[in-house]
Amino acid sequence: MTAISIAPAATRIPSRHRITKVMRLQMVNRLTYLGIPWIITGVALVISIVVAVLISVSVPEPGRQAALEGMAYSWAGLSPFWYLAVVGVQAVSAIFPFALGFSITRREYALGTLVTFVVIAAFNATGWAILTEIERAINAAGLTFHHFTALWFSEVGAGSVWLSLFTLQIVIFAVASAFAAVYARWRAMGMLVLWTAVALVVLGLIAFALLTGSAVPIIDWLMGFTITGFFAALLIPATLAFALGWAALHRAPLRG
How much is the pTM? 0.88
Is 50 exceeded by the pLDDT of residue 225? yes
> For the residues 233-247, what does the mean pLDDT come to?
92
Helix axes 235-249, 158-211, angle to 10 degrees: 80
How big is the chain by its Cα radius of gyration, in Å? Answer: 23
List pLDDT tens digits, range 19-76: 888 888 888 878 888 899 999 999 999 999 999 999 999 888 888 888 999 999 999 9
- Of residues 100 and 85, more confidently modeled: 85
Identify the pLDDT of residue 243: 92
Residue 152 DSSP one-character state: T
Identify the pLDDT of residue 199: 95
Is 90 exceeded by the pLDDT of residue 2? no
Q: Residue 217 half-sphere exposure, CB side, CA atoms within 13 Å?
A: 6
Indicate the domain borders of the chain.
15-249
**Which residues make Cβ contacts (< 8 Å) with residue 106, sequence separation at least 6?**
100, 246, 249, 250, 252
Torsion of CA 217, 223, 229, 232, to 10 degrees: 80
Is 50 exceeded by the pLDDT of residue 106? yes
Is 80 exceeded by the pLDDT of residue 126? yes
**In contact, 116 and 91? CB cutoff 8 Å:** yes
Identify the pLDDT of residue 23: 87
Q: Exposed, middle or buried by CB within 10 Å (0-12, 13-18, 19+), for 96?
A: buried
Residue 76 DSSP one-character state: G
**Which residues make Cβ contacts (< 8 Å) with residue 24, sequence separation at least 6?**
none
Whole-number average pLDDT of the chain: 88
Percentage of the chain modeled with pLDDT above 70: 93
- Split at pLDDT 50, 70, 90, the class of 214 is confident
Identify the pLDDT of residue 5: 47
Closest CA to 150 of 170, 128, 169: 128
Is 50 exceeded by the pLDDT of residue 128? yes
**In contact, 125 and 166? CB cutoff 8 Å:** yes
